Amino acid sequence: MSTERDVTRIVRSWLRTDEYDFPVEIVDDVLARLDATPQDRLIWPARRFADMNTYTKLAIAAAAVVVVAFAAFNLVPRTGVGGPGVATPPPTLAPTPSPTAAAFPPAGALTIGRHSMVLEGLTVSFNVSTSGWISNGSFGVDRSPDIGPEGASFIFWTDTPVGVFIDPCAAVRGPSVGVSTAALADAVASVPGTDLVSGPSDVTVGGHPAKLVVISIPDDIGCDPQRFNLWYAPTPGFARYATALGSTYRVWIIDVNGTPVWMDGETFKGAGPEPARQLQKIVDSIQFE
Amino acid sequence: MDTDLVVRAQHGDKDAFGILATEAASRFFAVARRILRDRDLAQDATQQALLSTWRALPRLSDPARFEAWSYRLLVRACYAEGQKERRWAPNLRLLPMDMPVVDDGLSSIVDRDQLEAGFRRLSIDHRAVVVLHHYLDLPLDRVADIVGIPVGTAHSRLHHAMCALRAALEADLRPSVREAAQ
């Protein structure tokens, strides 16, 4: 049993030893936006307003209400209002920026349609044909916020993994296997403690040759699944770990003109065919631009 | 804090604000990252807080209070960004093995994972109080001022949060206890 002092010490230590790289571009981005960000100015100098008598303050306040009400009245669209009125200028269309690929679809629900992202420096797009998919804004999309038979999720690796764990529970990494999709697929198929369901198989994704490996997490992995590490990227420390016992992972490793691009989809224990079908549908829609 | 810089920035001096922003940004990000547990959300919160600071500076009556006042804007930005947070199933983590090895009472990776999970279950309101008090070392009356709550509420939130974190730490012991009893 931890004492209160122990918990305080542990929490303080945890908060202080967590270290994060500071994104230096923050300040530049903010300074670049200052010209478009006017500073607040008081309409009346506060001191002068405080010196006024009550009637003057009320008069100014009343005038302000009238001005605001008038402005609001003129700004509200008058759909359905007939008869003569104030002539309004014809609507103008704001210039539409030409579409550019975002690094990842912004966090939130994905609309039905095509979404793009940048993986390994390549612009990739995929189609969402049903509602319910959510982007986390940086690396994944998820069909259900809950882990369960109906759920499905993707990690699209902006930075392709280069190796797997040789002791998943102890987080011991095997050596990097390089950029060969065949070697990467073989490594995935041999993660200790996992069950190989199928593959590596030769498939095509977005018109490019790819390897597909399907593995699952058995019930006897020997540690909590969330401490069961699967594969890692060269970005220091980033690795995939299992979500739950019984999860199935479909790993597509695509050879885009010599550049490996990696995406893995997860379905959960008890899943019927539909979640996997949804994952495959998204993979089938992938296009490289 | 150089109050002259604050006064100059209040009067629209962008160079002065640039110096203030440069000084504040890494502190803001460190706090936001700890409250929000998400790099992208923390980055957005930091940017929003800095822009809010610039926008609202003319309304700051006491330039000497700039730091506490700007933290208040940061906490508000964290609340706003926290609304965007969603429960997320796919798992990608920064491996504990890449973290600095310090003899700090965090006996294992398990403690870090349990703390992380427990902390994420707290509301942003509770996380903010924990981070301001235990990370920035601010006394609870100043925490209350920054968050905009009575001091008693700050005490109550801190107590609730620490109880939850203790429960998270101890939860990991329970399977072992069950195994031992069998």
Cis peptide before A200 (omega within 30 of 0): yes
**Looking at the domain assignment, is residue B175 inside a domain?**
yes
> What value, to the nearest 5°, has the Cα angle with vertex A280 and ends A278 and A284?
120
Q: Flag whether residue A40 sits within 8 Å of chain B, measured between CB atoms.
A: yes
The mean pLDDT of A262-274, rounded to a whole number, is 89
For residue A125, pLDDT over 80 is answered with yes
Of B21, B110, B134, the CB nearest to A31: B21
Report the alpha-carbon distance of residue A171 to residue A232 in Å, rounded: 10
Same domain, B160 and B114: yes
For A46, nearest residue in chain B (alpha carbons): B59
**B48 neighbors B80 (Cβ within 8 angstroms):** yes
Same domain, B111 and B77: no
Cross-chain residue pair B12–A226, CB shorter than 8 Å: no
For residue A84, pLDDT over 50 is answered with no
Assign residue B51 the CATH number of its domain.
1.10.1740.10
Same domain, B78 and B10: yes
The mean pLDDT of A224-233, rounded to a whole number, is 82
Q: Flag whether residue A55 sits within 8 Å of chain B, measured between CB atoms.
A: no
Specify the pTM. 0.47
**Looking at the domain assignment, is residue B141 inside a domain?**
yes
Report the alpha-carbon distance of residue B94 to residue B100 in Å, rounded: 12
Give the closest-approach CA distance of A80 to chain B in angstroms.
Answer: 36
Domain boundary among B83, B114, B143: B83
Of A2, A27, A139, the CB nearest to B170: A2
Which residues lie below 8 Å from residue B74, measured CB to CB, with a gap of 6+?
A: B28, B31, B32, B45, B46, B49
**Looking at the domain assignment, is residue B90 inside a domain?**
no
For residue A211, pLDDT over 90 is answered with yes
Q: Flag whether residue A167 sits within 8 Å of chain B, measured between CB atoms.
A: no
pLDDT tens digits, B46-64: 999 999 999 888 888 888 8
The residues with which A256 forms a beta bridge, in sequence order, are A259
Residues in chain B: 182
Q: Which residue has the higher pLDDT, B92 or A18?
A: A18
**Residue B118 pLDDT:** 84
- With beta carbons under 8 A apart, name residues in chain A contacting B81: none
Report the alpha-carbon distance of residue B47 to residue B51 in Å, rounded: 6
Report the alpha-carbon distance of residue A231 to residue A173 in Å, rounded: 8
Tokens read off for A154: 């993707």
Assign residue B128 the CATH number of its domain.
1.10.10.10
Give the closest-approach CA distance of A1 to chain B in angstroms.
Answer: 7
Cross-chain residue pair B88–A140, CB shorter than 8 Å: yes
The domain limits of chain A are 4-75, 108-288
Report the alpha-carbon distance of residue A274 to residue A267 in Å, rounded: 10
Report the alpha-carbon distance of residue B51 to residue B48 in Å, rounded: 5
The mean pLDDT of A249-267, rounded to a whole number, is 92
For residue B83, pLDDT over 80 is answered with no
Instruction: Name residue A222's amino acid.
Output: G
Same domain, B76 and B113: no
Q: Which residue has the higher pLDDT, B30 or A87?
A: B30
Label the pairing between strands A229-232 and A163-167. antiparallel
Give the closest-approach CA distance of B158 to chain A in angstroms.
Answer: 11
Report the alpha-carbon distance of residue B62 to residue B7 in Å, rounded: 9
- With beta carbons under 8 A apart, name residues in chain B contacting A22: 25-26, 29-30
Range of the domain at B147: 106-181
Instruction: Name residue A276's amino acid.
Output: A
Cross-chain residue pair A171–B98, CB shorter than 8 Å: no
pLDDT tens digits, A92-118: 333 333 334 567 888 778 889 999 888
CATH of A108-288, one of 3.10.450, 3.40.91, 3.40.1000, 3.40.720: 3.40.1000
Total domains in chain B come to: 2
**A142 neighbors A151 (Cβ within 8 angstroms):** yes
A284 falls in which pLDDT band (50, 70, 90)?
very high
**Across all residues in chain A, what is the average pLDDT?**
75
pLDDT tens digits, A151-196: 888 888 878 889 999 999 888 888 989 889 999 999 999 999 999 9
Q: Which helix (H) or strand (E) holds A108?
A: strand A108-109
**Looking at the domain assignment, is residue B93 inside a domain?**
no
